[in-house]
Every structure is written in structure tokens, then in C-alpha cells.
A = this chain, B = another copy of it.
Amino acid sequence: MMSGAVQQKQDTVALPVFAAVTLALITILSVWKLKQFKYKLVNEAGVAMFYGLLLGLTVRLIWTDKGEQCPGNTTAANEQANTSNNTMLNLTPHGHVGNEKGQFSSHPEETFDLQVLFNLFLPPIIFHGAYTLNQKRFLANLGSVLTYAFAGTIISCMCIGACMYGFTKLMLLLSKQKEEFCLTHCLLFGAIMSATDPVSVLGLLSDLRVDLDLHMLLFGESVLNDAVAIVLTHAITTYTQMDAGLIFNPTAFLHAFVFFLRVLIGSFLLGLIFTVITALLTKFTRLHENPLLETSVFFLLSWSSYLSAEACGLSGIVAVMFCGLSQARYTVLNLSSEGRARIKQLFEVFNFLGEISIFGYMGYILLKFTCHKFEPHFISGALLSVFISRAFNIYPLSFLLNLGRTNKIPCKFQHFMMFAGLRGAVAFRLAVKVTAKEVSHTIFTTTLLMIVFTIWVLGTAADPMLRRLDIRVGVDPDENQEDRIFEIATERPDTTQGLWHSLDYKYLKPMLTHRGPPLTESLPQCCGVFARVFSSPRVQEDEEEELCEIEAGKNTLDLGETESQQGSSESDSASEHQEDLLDGDLGLGTAPAQPREASGSSTQL
């Protein structure tokens, strides 16, 4: 009591944060211990969620009599007083007091926590995933990834929506349900549940170290469908607000489509812009002499891509993913080796702690939040429709994709993808944002339960499932790293990729790094000033850099269409390295010799 007067204000943050930190510690240690005892079934997300549930239960039991009320009971009071201490209640966008002043919403606790949590931890998780990605494999699978992410998510959404609508109507007929859900609510639920979660999928994939192609497909899909889910949720809420009902409205559809393109292209550009800034900074300044500064600047700029995208109403996840991919392709070449190691380690720690925090928090909210609305029929319907929609998403699309792919997606991959549709942070975030008043609690509760189910049941069963399906696991994670630096475009040389490759190799690489042919050659005469400004002031010195540079030869060579499923990853990576050496020599022999800019460091800022 004595310290009360002075310290009170501090307590309000220190205590919850301390609880969270303790939770994270217990999670880390128990997962680690369980894994030592060969319980391969546990995953961090699930255990964090479990402890979160325990904490939520404790908090709720302790403060159960403090009279936290549900919105239904206090709506009138809330609207009058505008205090609304109970949280996440009227999940409407109208609840904002002083939003234009840059202040927080009127329910400070949960939504604010949530925002801080997502803004702090989601970017490093997605960035880490993209940054350590095997770019070659990703590009090779890009078409399939886009199909699953875009077409697949829309199919999922429609399918879940239709299933849920049919199911609730049936239940209403059998008079087993009181509440009525209109089609837009069902579609909204579909949009929320259609997005698989990059955080849990990444956790699962890096835990199990599955086959690289499968990794690409699952990770790419889970990251990119965030944009689709955001757009779908937005389009459906707009529809609801317009009271358009079931009538097809071409204007609204066009709006949604334009909005979709805006979100996708805007996020992509923001990700790229921050990479360009980072790359130019690290190229033209002496930041690499101070690894601490280098790391800080790299970290802050990469984080900015997420924040700026979210601040503009775009998809931060998509932006930071593109940022991670392009940073790994360009900026990393300008960094000092110590800076590179530090950045990797920093993101690793954030990634690790972030996953635990986000899932722990979701578990906590599930039991702490007092205004849940459990609709058993809605929940069982959701469970069923999630599986049905996933099947309708994966199998037909895989069939179509396999018609065009030389490197087919095997059936066992399809089964696993069908199975590994984990839901998580993205669905949670969308559910919190949902604006449909009456049903939002049912949707919120059901979403949380579906997340718990997919993480616990599907996440835990993933390892035995992989073994049953006989899918390669335990792939060396460093393989990615090896490949990343010596990556080459061995994909089928169709026109888009050829264009992309020449853009990448001829313009972006020389502009952003010290590699590639000088800009003065690749750019037309009229851009002479531009070319000189961006020309590399440094001359490559060590051998490793030379190796990277001789990608030059690649451009003129067609390595053939057969990028077959190589069995052993180690030999794969090693042979690639050798190829690099050989082709490099060939390339230097056949391609025009590259005169190097030796303008010295005069243009350094």
C-alpha cells in the first residue's frame, strides 16, 4: 500500500507485461522439454495457446465478480457514457472516439493490446519467413502459389459461406437454432475463415522442415491470401452496409475488384519502396562499417513496410513479405557479413517470441473475454464447412495446375495441403474487425474455436500425417541460405519470367547492389545521368562476390525445362554451387566482358 500513490500508474502495464513474459518463458521451456522427450507432436503455437487459456481462466475466475458486462446488456449505457470499459464489444468502426486525433479507440484494453501485438510481432514473423525463403523454388512455384492464394481463397470463402447458409437454414427449419444468419453474415464468416495463417503455417513448416516445394506452396498461399481475405471482408461489409442484399451489384463488384488490385499493388509497391531505400542506403553509404547501425536501419526500414501499408489501409502482411523477398535478393548483397548475421539473429528472436505471444494472447482472450456466444450448430457447421471448402479449394485447383506444370504437385502434397489449412492470427484479426453487430459475437467465438481446433488437432497431427503420407521431412534449413545467395533462374524461360529476369538482372541488381552489369551499359543513352548516379562506387573484391556476379552467364544459357524433384537436398545444393562455378566460367567466356566501374568512393554520400 505504501508504494501505491506513486507507482500506481506503472503497475497497469508492468503487471500484464510481466504475466505475458512469464507465460512466454513457461511456453518456451515446456515446449523445449517436451521436444527433448521426443514428443514431436507439440508445437509452440498450441502450447502457447494452452497457457494463454490457463491465464485467461485465472484472470476470469479472479475478477469474475467485478461485473464485466456484455454489450447486449449495456449497449444503452455505453452509448450514453461512451466509457465502454468492457472490450471488443461494439466491434463497429463507429466506436472510435477521437480517431482523427490519432488517439485510440474507446475500448482501450483488448483491441489496443491486439494492435500493439500485431504491429510489433507480425512483421518480423512474415519478414523472417520471406527473408529466409528459397527464392528460386518460390519463383518456380509462383504461379501455383498465386492460384491457391487468390482463386483458392475466393472458392473457400464462397464455399464456407454457402455451406454455413445452408446449414443455418436447415437448423432453422428443424428449429434447433434461435438466431438467424443472413447470407452476408455467412459469407463474412467465410471470408474470415478462408485465410490460412502464415504464422502457424510457418511455425509448423519450420518445425517439421518439410519438402521445399510443399513449403513454398503452403507459405506463399498463407501469406498472399491475407490480401484476398482483407478484400473479401471489406467487400462483404460494404455490401452489407449498402443493403444490397442478394442482388448482384456490378458497381459494388467493380469497386471490390479495384479495391483488391489497389491493396495488392499498393502493398507490393510499398514493400519494394522500402527495399529500394534500404538497398540504396546500404549501397551508397558506409553503413556497413557499423554493424549495429546497419542492423538497426535494416530492421526499422523493413518494419516500416508493414506499418506504412497498414496505415494506408493496405495489407501489411503482403507488403512486408515482398519487402522480405526483395531485401533478401538485393540489400543482403550490400551488407557486411556481421550485419547479415545480426539481422538474421534479430529476426529469429522476434519471430520466435512473436509466435508465442500471438498465440498465447489468442488463448488468453478465448477464456478472458466474457461475452462469448456459443452456438453449437453454427460451430459444428463451421467445422464441417472448413474441411469441405478446403477440399474444394485444393483438389480442383491442383488438378488444373498439374495440367500446366511440368513438375506436378503429387497427390500426397495435395492431401497434406488440404490438411494443413491452419487458421490463426489473420482470421483472429479479421474477426475482431468485423462490423456486423448482432452476429459478431457468434462469429468471433466460432472463429476462436476454429483456430484452437486447427492449431491443436491439425497442428499436432501434422507430423504423423507427414509420415503416413511419406513426405520428406527434416530438410536442412541452411539449404535455403545456400540457395539464396547462389540462386539462379532455372525456371521455364517463359516470357514473363524472362522479362522479370532481365529487369532483375539488368536494372534492379546493378541499381541496388554492387553486382550485375553496369547500368551505363544496360540503360539507353538518354538515361546516362541516372545510370552514372546509381552506378556502383565500389569494386567487387572477394571471391564470393565474384561467384555471385557470374550469374551473368545464366542469362544466355537455357538450362532446360526439367526442374525435377531432387531427392537429396544436400547434393542438390552442392551441385547447384558447382553449376554456378561452371556456368559462371562459361558465361564469362560467352557473354561480353563486364568492364567494372572503378569510379572509387567519390560518389559516396
Binding site for B on A (CB under 8 A): 2-18, 21-22, 24-25, 28-29, 32-33, 36, 59, 63, 66, 68, 81-83, 85, 93, 96-105, 108-109, 111-112, 115-116, 118-119, 230, 233-234, 237-238, 241, 255, 259, 262-263, 281, 286-287, 290, 292-293, 295-297, 299-301, 303-304, 306-308, 310-314, 316, 342, 345-346, 348-349, 352-353, 432-433, 435, 605
Contact = CB atoms under 8 A, between A and B. Distances in A.
Nearest to A281: B29
Contacts of A25: 297, 300-301, 304
B104 A308 contact: no
Contacts of A118: 10
B349 A295 contact: yes
Contact of A5 (B82, B93, B295, B312): B93
A344 to B, nearest CB: 10
Contacts of A348: 292
Contacts of A15: 102, 307, 311
Contact of A12 (B12, B102, B238, B300): B102
14 contacts: A2-B234, A2-B238, A5-B435, A6-B234, A7-B310, A9-B111, A11-B310, A13-B119, A14-B306, A32-B293, A36-B286, A81-B82, A292-B352, A296-B352
A12 to B, nearest CB: 5
B104 A109 contact: yes
Given A8-B99, A66-B100, A349-B299, A311 B14 contact: yes
Contacts of A262: 2
A294 B137 CA distance: 32
Given A10-B310, A304-B22, A308-B18, A4 B108 contact: no
Contact of A230 (B6, B12, B303): B6
Nearest to A115: B13
B349 A292 contact: yes
A10 to B, nearest CB: 5
Contacts of A234: 2-3, 5-7
A487 to B, nearest CB: 25
A286 B4 CA distance: 41
Given A13-B115, A17-B119, A348-B292, A101 B66 contact: yes
Contacts of A263: 3
Given A9-B96, A13-B104, 17 more contacts: A3-B259, A5-B237, A8-B96, A8-B99, A9-B115, A9-B432, A13-B112, A14-B115, A16-B102, A18-B308, A18-B311, A28-B296, A66-B100, A85-B98, A116-B116, A292-B349, A299-B349
Nearest to A348: B292
Contacts of A306: 14
Nearest to A605: B33
A18 B59 contact: no
A383 to B, nearest CB: 26
Nearest to A116: B13
A112 to B, nearest CB: 7
A246 to B, nearest CB: 20
A116 B303 CA distance: 18
A426 to B, nearest CB: 12
A15 B32 CA distance: 37
A336 to B, nearest CB: 13
Nearest to A83: B82
* Ranked 5 nearest A-B pairs via Cβ: A3-B313, A14-B310, A13-B115, A18-B307, A7-B313
Contacts of A9: 93, 96, 105, 111, 115, 432-433
A2 B259 contact: yes
A296 B346 CA distance: 11
Nearest to A237: B5
A217 B102 CA distance: 42
A116 B12 CA distance: 10
A13 B308 CA distance: 11
Contacts of A4: 93, 313
B105 A12 contact: yes
Contact of A59 (B68, B102, B435): B102
A10 B109 contact: no
A97 B115 contact: no
A82 B506 CA distance: 62
